[in-house]
Chain A
Amino acid sequence: MMTGGGPADVTLTIPIATYKIAFLLGLNYPLASAYAVAVLPIFVVLIYLTVRRLG
């Protein structure tokens, strides 16, 4: 949020890229969703481990 991914994308992260693609650069929802889904496996593993530990 502080840098908006700039300057010249050097601080760009996946959440900011997803936001920019979906809401700032032509409302490209499919591409933004693809970004989100691309990192989903990492989160699924982390969430699974968290849920197993806390659940």
Chain B
Amino acid sequence: MGMKKPRRLLFIVVASVLLLFWVFFPVYWVLKTSFAPEEEVWNMGLPRNPTLRNFRDIFSVRQGSMVEVSGAMLSISPTIMTPLRNTLLVATVAVFLTMVVSSIAAFNLSRFSYRGKRVVSSYVLFAYVFPPFILMVPITVVMRRLGLYDSLWGLTLAHLAYTIPFATYMLRGYFLGIPQELEEAAQVDGCSRFQSFVRITLPLSAPGLVTVAIFSFVLSWGDVVFATVLLNTQEQYTLPIHIGFFLWGGEIVDPGRLAATALIAGLVPAFLYIAIQRFVQMGLVAGAVKG
């Protein structure tokens, strides 16, 4: 019995260390490579002569610049500014539309009674857990027909197919935790149903709304599948597609710039998450125990 406890502890420690290594090694690699000079990018250790050159390059390299890979000269991407702006634009608009649509949908599902509500409520999740690759072809065909192929609006609409069901599901749980009597009291004082929703329910749901906004933003920010199939010109590319410029034929063309770009792509949602982590935790807990 006395031997079992230390063994279990040892197992937990080893498993935790392995897990931490598994999770943090890619982050470490991106961090150290982004600051490494060209001759040190493949070293495993921290760079001896750290530099900001990679960051300077990704913000200043012009379209048509060439880089030598295995003896061949390849054209590399334009600056990170255009994809960064595109990604930010798509994610922000997607979050805004998601919040508007899903909060109304969630309010409907949490407050009103009607025939078929249970089915609708259950299958809101259906769309979210549907594998994106099955939707690749139909969404592309629809966007082509609508004239939204290769446009940021088309990509934003495609993202809504995933963010809205997820946000509705989470917000529904949150709204169920807010006493309906508060809205009824507001209605007694002269508010309409919609006004009570806007003035009472939404402010009380701030942690849930923030959580949903963050998750929707991250979903849209990191999307590769729809961006790959719906965007066709460099001016429209988003960050995940832009990162692909540094990968050619299964090889990393320019590790330093790849790492710097990946770091910036990862930093935005990370900062956002850290800034409002308190709200996110509150929102997650509330959504987990209700509905």
Contacts and interface: CB of A to CB of B under 8 A. Distances in A.
Interface of A: 1-4, 6, 14-15, 18-19, 22-23, 29, 32-33, 36-37, 39-40, 43, 46-47, 50-52, 54-55
A2 B102 CA distance: 34
A29 B142 CA distance: 12
Given A19-B229, A43-B131, A29 B137 contact: yes
A31 to B, nearest CB: 10
A52 to B, nearest CB: 8
B228 interface: yes
A43 B130 CA distance: 8
B250 A4 contact: yes
Contacts of A55: 121-125
B122 A6 contact: no
A18 B225 CA distance: 12
A47 B169 CA distance: 15
A36 B133 contact: yes
A47 B228 contact: no
Contacts of A15: 131, 133
Contact of A23 (B121, B134, B224, B229): B229
The A contact surface, by secondary structure, is: helix
Interface of B: 121-126, 129-131, 133-134, 136-138, 140-141, 169, 224, 228-229, 250
B288 to A, nearest CB: 11
Nearest to A31: B137
A32 B134 contact: no
Contact of B129 (A2, A3, A50): A50
B125 A22 contact: no
A37 B138 CA distance: 12
The B contact surface, by secondary structure, is: helix
A2 B250 contact: yes
Contact of A22 (B126, B140, B224): B140
Nearest to A1: B224
A14 to B, nearest CB: 7
Contacts of A46: 129
Given A50-B129, A51-B129, A22 B250 contact: no
B137 A22 contact: yes
Question: Which 9 pairs show the lowest CB-CB distances between chains A and B?
Answer: A55-B122, A15-B133, A36-B134, A33-B137, A51-B125, A22-B137, A32-B137, A47-B129, A29-B137
A34 to B, nearest CB: 10
Contacts of A14: 133
Nearest to B138: A33
A19 B136 contact: yes
Contacts of A36: 133-134, 136-137
A22 B136 contact: yes
Contacts of A22: 136-137, 140, 229
B141 A29 contact: yes
A51 B179 CA distance: 26
21 contacts: A2-B250, A14-B133, A15-B131, A18-B133, A19-B133, A19-B228, A22-B140, A22-B229, A23-B140, A23-B229, A32-B137, A36-B133, A36-B134, A37-B134, A43-B134, A47-B126, A47-B130, A51-B126, A55-B123, A55-B124, A55-B125
